[in-house]
Amino acid sequence: MKSIVLSSVVVALLAFSGCGEQPKVAEKPAAQEKTTDAADAKAEEVAPVETETVAAEDSMVDSDTNADMNSDTAMSMTDIEAELTPVYFGFDKFNLTNDMQDKVSKTAEIGKTKAANFNVKLEGNCDEWGSDEYNFALGLKRADTVKKALVAEGIDAARITMVSYGESNPVCSDKTEACYAKNRRVDFKLLP
């Protein structure tokens, strides 16, 4: 079924895109170049591009300073992400239990203190039960539930983005209930 839909979309795109010719642009005659139109005057005011040659010894950026700054930021992001534990959900559920609400509260505290300079990406995940479409929708509902809880705890909604991976990002692939439970989660990722 998926291959039929996919091939139909590809055929439709090819049919509509076609290989049309590029429209030809008429050149202005030299006599018409001097106009009093304000837009043309502004366009003519643009200065020509200047080039500059830099000697090889001057082209090196102080890599030690940049490396230290980038590694400090990367290390702090990594360290903070390690403290952000996933929020787990029940089978076919997207509501927070009391213990998961406590995790969200702790995450919000980290978001207001240590991670105040970062944005947060919420990654909704599901187990393998259900269709792909259903699991993508469920993963997004789970991420949205966590987002609403974080906003209620004082995190600015503009700092939060969401994505759903559905069942495509499992942390466990065994065919056991314990493994399925690990895949029903929302992960936190920090963004600069």
Q: For 93-141, write each residue's pLDDT tens digit.
A: 999 999 999 999 999 999 999 999 999 999 999 999 999 999 999 999 9
Identify whether 163 is part of a domain.
yes
pLDDT value at residue 8: 62
Number of H helices and E strands in the chain, helices first, is 6, 4
Question: Token match 């439970």: residue?
Answer: 181
DSSP conformational letter for 35: -
Closest CA to 164 of 126, 129, 128: 126
In-domain check, residue 97: yes
Q: According to the model, what pLDDT value does residue 76 have?
A: 83
Does 121 fall in a domain?
Answer: yes
For the purposes of burial, counting CB atoms within 10 Å of the CB of 70, is it exposed (0-12), middle (13-18) or buried (19 or more)? exposed
CA R_g for the chain = 27
Report residue 127 as tokens: 């187990």
**Residue pLDDT, tens place only, 131-153:** 999 999 999 999 999 999 999 99
Query: Is 184 inside a domain boundary?
Result: yes
Range of the domain at 128: 88-191
**CATH code (residue 109):** 3.30.1330.60
Our count of domains for the chain comes to 1
Instruction: Give the pairing of strands 160-166 and 185-191.
Output: unpaired
User: Does some domain include residue 53?
Assistant: no
* Among 126, 128, 123, residue whose Cα is nearest residue 174: 128
73 domain-assigned? no
Tell me the pLDDT tens digit for each residue of 16-74: 555 444 444 444 444 444 444 444 444 445 445 444 444 455 444 443 434 444 444 55
In a domain, residue 39? The reply is: no
Is residue 151, in this structure, part of any structural domain at all?
A: yes
